[in-house]
Structure 1
Amino acid sequence: MPDKPAAELPIDARLIRTLLEEQAPHLAEEPLRHAADGWDCSVWRLGDTRAVRLPRRALAAPLVRHEQRALPLIGPAVAATGVEVPTPVFAGRPGGGYPWSWSIVPWFPGSRGIDVPRPARAAWAGALAGALRALHVVAPGDAPVNPVRGLPLQTRADSVGARLSAVAAAGAAPPGEVAAARAAWADALAATPWSGPPVWIHGDLHPGNLIADGGRLVAMIDFGDVTAGDPAYDLAVGWLAFDPAGRAIFTGALRDAYDAATWTRARGWAAAIGAILLDHSDDNPDYAAIGAEALTELASDA
């Protein structure tokens, strides 16, 4: 991805304490410590079992509202599979000089999926498949709208073509792998589009947004891009996260749920996301590695 943008306003412990004292006083005395700053949100541990999630910039403010809208609807069904989601336990509002909505969410102990070696992720490929089966149900007409995720691939044809060309020009992946990615993208563009009703999709599903504990998948997190559309976007995680053995478990567990065209589009999305991550992850080697490995996986099963 492009370099992470700077926060548009300072987020510190004093601000969060003020918000808690005004809106959630029953939690205002809990221990508070900074956990991470992502592209869109700052995350702070609140006690042992919760976290505070606050947008860092105006463009991210709607994402928290989308989570507050969608996760209470989809969270219970996904959690019933044994994979948790960060359904807000408190939906905060602007206050204390802070202009945007914010949330208190559960904190899930474990490791980022990105920190689990790719072969070891096979242990939770079936669990992720079950969670997506529960997630990919028909969404209501007022589901959050994302301008990119879950749309027909043709809407991204020029952009993804340019990304693949940039990867090739930079030598960011071997020529054979770039060729395999181009072929996967071309096949996806030619595949039958999604003709069913829009279903809920995570919209940003990759190993960095999965939490694991040993061989167990604990949670899917960061639903800021949640939207309704073509489930193929989420299914691209089969190449973003897994090696051939893990991918065989993942796709096998879902083979009755999606037709061949959907899996072809999923491979195309994996090529697209891999190229995007490779083209613009100079400041984040973890995400560049996801992109490189995705193109390697596509080439391995071409």
Structure 2
Amino acid sequence: MHSDQVHIDADIVREMIFDQFPEYRHERIVQLGAIGTVNAIFRIGSRVAARFPLRAMEPVECANMLRNEAAAMTEFAAHSPFACPRPIGIGQPGPLYPLPWAMQSWIEGDVATHDGLAASTTFALDIAKLIASLRAADTHGRRFDGQGRGGSLPDHDDWMSICFKNSEGLLDVSRLRRIWARLRELPPSGLDVMSHRDLIPANLLVRGDRLVGVLDSGSFGPADPALDLVAAWHLFDSRSAPPGTCSPVP
């Protein structure tokens, strides 16, 4: 819950769908219990999802953000070997919800979890195929845009200081500070490459141990190649790696 959170519920969504996307007015609307806190997500029938931003902002700023995300999603889809949502349209603010919002296609699959996938070579190869395909996309001279992860680690010093302070009494903060002091001095791992930029489990859909879909591609863009390791950090075990390739940081 955010202090500036905008209220949205299924009844409001139903009214906005009826007014702005009447072709879906008879579809069942279900709010999803999403992990993220940026958008409220509603499933519209069996083929569509609606995403409603939760943080208050200027409508013009929100509309620009959604248009940029739609463009990134379209570019991502052109290079991804796996299914991904496609933009359908951008809804307008209404009397009960003050911001623009997005309609996109729905992708079937189960959210990836560590259980059952940690040692899966098949899944690891699917992730490698995804990353390699995205990196083959041309950056067209673009560089990391400074938003979120994927750039210079020292840029995150202020945020890390807050995290360390809030973790006192919960974690070994002294050790974490030593680790951060070492990590922030590392050089870039290479030239920026095109990256999904958020390959966390919630954005990876599987069927069995096969990757079948990739969500939340609206941030697709250039970033440090090391950012693609996010999927490995969340999902794979060092036990499945060759001896000597994984070791704890002292």
Structure 2 counterparts to residues 79-228 of structure 1, below 5 A: 81=81, 83-88=82-87, 90-97=88-95, 98-114=97-113, 116-117=115-116, 119=118, 122-136=121-135, 137-140=137-140, 145-157=145-157, 159-160=159-160, 163=163, 167=167, 169-172=168-171, 178=175, 182-183=178-179, 185-193=180-188, 196=191, 198-228=192-222
In the alignment, residue 211 of structure 1 is paired with which amino acid? L
Structure 2 SS opposite 1:109: coil
TM-score where L is the length of structure 1: 0.65
Is 2:71–2:218's contact at 8 Å kept on the other side of the alignment?
Answer: no
Check 1:16–1:213 CA distance in 2 against 1; reply closer, same or farther (3 A cut): same
In the alignment, residue 152 of structure 1 is paired with which amino acid? S
In the alignment, residue 21 of structure 2 is paired with which amino acid? A
* Structure 2 equivalent of residue 50 of structure 1: 48
Which structure 2 residue ranges, 5 or more long, are not aligned?
Answer: none
Is 1:113–1:210's contact at 8 Å kept on the other side of the alignment?
Answer: yes
In the alignment, residue 91 of structure 1 is paired with which amino acid? G
Residue 23 of structure 2 is aligned to residue 26 of structure 1: yes
* Structure 2 equivalent of residue 255 of structure 1: none
Structure 1 SS opposite 2:40: strand
Check 1:117–1:58 CA distance in 2 against 1; reply closer, same or farther (3 A cut): farther
Return the structure number with greater helix share. Answer: 1
Is 1:40–1:55's contact at 8 Å kept on the other side of the alignment?
Answer: yes
Check 1:6–1:209 CA distance in 2 against 1; reply closer, same or farther (3 A cut): farther
* Structure 2 equivalent of residue 11 of structure 1: 8
In the alignment, residue 216 of structure 2 is paired with which amino acid? D
Is 1:206–1:240's contact at 8 Å kept on the other side of the alignment?
Answer: yes
Mapped to 1, the partners of 2:118 and 2:52 lie a distance apart of: 34
Task: Provide the aligned C-alpha RMSD in A.
Answer: 3.4
Check 1:172–1:187 CA distance in 2 against 1; reply closer, same or farther (3 A cut): closer
- Matched residues, percent identical? 25
Is 1:121–1:241's contact at 8 Å kept on the other side of the alignment?
Answer: no
Which structure 1 residue ranges, 5 or more long, are not aligned?
Answer: 253-296
